[in-house]
Amino acid sequence: MEKTTKIIFPFDQSVVKELPMIDKSDIEKVLQTAHNLFEDQANWIPAYKRIEILEKAAFIMNDKSEELIHIAISEGGKPYKDSKAEILRAIKGVKLAAEHISQIKGEQIPMGLTEASLNRIAFTSKEPIGIVAAVSAFNHPLNLAVHQVVTAIAAGCPVIFKPASATPLSGLALADILKEAGLPSGWLQVVLCDNETSELLVTDPRVHFLSFIGSAKVGWYLKSKLAPGTRCALEHGGAAPVIVESDADFSEMIPDLVKGGFYHAGQVCVSVQKVYVNQEICDRFIEKLSEATKKLIVGNPFDKTTDVGSLISPKEVNRVEEWVNEAVAEGAKIITGGKRISDTTFQPTILFNPSEDSKVSTHEIFGPVVCIYPFTNRNEAIKKANALEVHFQAAVFTKNLDIALETAKKLNATAVMINDNTAFRVDWMPFGGRDASGLGMGGISYTINEMTREKLTVFKSKSL
């Protein structure tokens, strides 16, 4: 009997669609299709054609933007205004990928610098790395697909895409759009499968590159199982620490932190989570942040006024509730929120001074919870901010240039935002975690470069 997966609207748990899943016996055909395409250099998609396909895809996506917004909301539960922003970002991402194709190039390597290297000219060129296997996460179903699939196509690689089982519809819609835009058959295969089948796929020696977005536990496990020579990029999560100094501008900072903490109900890998606030302004900070947080509208993500929608599943609501209750039992004070609204939604919550040993302090919450910790010594606060093994994006709010630069230097992060929240991202910047938070850098152009490999050609001639 064929296995299926049900796509559920997270807000009311209604079934959106039921789709067939492949099993282990289907993986060989998928891999062989991609392998045959890559082995046949005569049929590689030339650069001009890849540009044409992606430009047309961006045009079609723009045309179907409302439909894509509807799909993303129905499977992921992200509110309308944020889903709309995601779809616009995804379209821009496709355009960025098309533009970057012209920058896939090598360089001349000087020869004749020694007697042994006379009569030679040498240059490098970039080639597609090979088959890309991409495993994705649920929280940005279309934009992540663009970052993993469209980049592979731009680099000239056949790609096998496994979307998150909860949110495959956006990836399937993107595949249809790319096909309509002229992508030849087999260059993108979308597979829905269980974890065991997924592992079989990514660890096959025919796979040249794994792009993984998801939990650190799964990412590092899969990396340990990869075939020799398979390169990978892993993007996990973090705890996004923020340092707030006493001279911070409240009018700029409060809306920024509310957005960064509660956007998509905190289900973002760089969502504001741990805020270390100078004791001198802590009371005022709590009052203002709480005031702004209480104004957030929690509700149906299809409603255009909704600020915070549902979590991806009731199981996640249960987990967030457990973690908040544990933090309170261990000494944290609830400033606002702290309770479930329904089986699928949780109040935007601010906790004051939870124990550094509570789960909300030591793990990525991935829910609508922000923790505030007062400090008197900034270096101590930075030390606590750096204490976990996850390091992704961080932030500091201050108008003092020296403090801003010193804090940015000392925070262990791949990116530090000054007077902006930790969740800031544009798709042409490098983006990724360090240490346990990941490997390699995302961002459209950075990913395309990682999906290519360099070849050196040395030409020997008496005429040179």
DSSP character at residue 149: I
Active site residue 67: no
Q: Which residues of 429-443 are buried (b: 16+ CB within 10 A; e: fewer)?
A: eebbbbbbbbbbbbb
Query: Average pLDDT in the 195-208 region?
Result: 96
What integer best gives the mean pLDDT of the chain?
Answer: 97
The hierarchical CATH code for the domain 241-418 is 3.40.309.10
Per-residue pLDDT tens over the stretch 122-176 = 999 999 999 999 999 999 999 999 999 999 999 999 999 999 999 999 999 999 9
Q: What own/partner pairs with CB < 8 Å and gap ≥ 24 does 247-254 have?
A: 247/398, 247/399, 247/400, 248/281, 248/397, 248/398, 248/399, 248/419, 249/397, 249/399, 249/419, 250/284, 250/285, 250/288, 252/419, 253/397, 253/419, 254/288, 254/289, 254/292
Segments making up each domain of the chain, as ranges: 4-236+437-459, 241-418
Asked if the model's pLDDT at residue 2 lies above 90, the reply is: no
d(C-alpha 64, C-alpha 87), whole Å: 10
Asked if the model's pLDDT at residue 434 lies above 80, the reply is: yes
Is residue 460 within a helix (H) or strand (E), and if so which, with residue range?
strand 452-460
d(C-alpha 190, C-alpha 195), whole Å: 15
Query: Average pLDDT in the 302-323 region?
Result: 97
Query: Average pLDDT in the 79-101 region?
Result: 97
pLDDT recorded at residue 108:
98
Nearest to 163 by CA among 213, 101, 227: 213
Active site residue 235: yes
Nearest to 381 by CA among 241, 262, 280: 241
Bridging pattern class, strands 333-336 and 349-352:
antiparallel
Is residue 255 within a helix (H) or strand (E), and if so which, with residue range?
helix 250-262
Domains 4-236+437-459 and 241-418 share a fold: no
d(C-alpha 291, C-alpha 333), whole Å: 16
DSSP-derived secondary structure for 59-109: HHHHHTHHHHHHHHHHHH---HHHHHHHHHHHHHHHHHHHHHGGG----EE
pLDDT recorded at residue 1:
66
pLDDT recorded at residue 346:
98
| CB-based contacts of 243, cutoff 8 Å, min separation 6 | 276, 378, 381, 382, 385, 394, 395, 396, 397, 398, 407, 411
Per-residue pLDDT tens over the stretch 269-278 = 999 999 999 9
Return the residue matching tokens 């403090």. Answer: 403
Whole-model pTM: value is 0.95
Among 75, 86, 193, 235, the one annotated catalytic: 235
Return the residue matching tokens 């969740």. Answer: 423
| pLDDT above 90 as % of the chain | 99
| CB-based contacts of 111, cutoff 8 Å, min separation 6 | 117, 118, 120, 121, 122, 458, 464
Q: Which CATH class is domain 4-236+437-459?
A: alpha beta
Among 232, 269, 282, 371, the one annotated catalytic: 269
Per-residue pLDDT tens over the stretch 322-341 = 999 999 999 999 999 999 99
| pLDDT above 70 as % of the chain | 100
3-class DSSP state for residue 431? strand
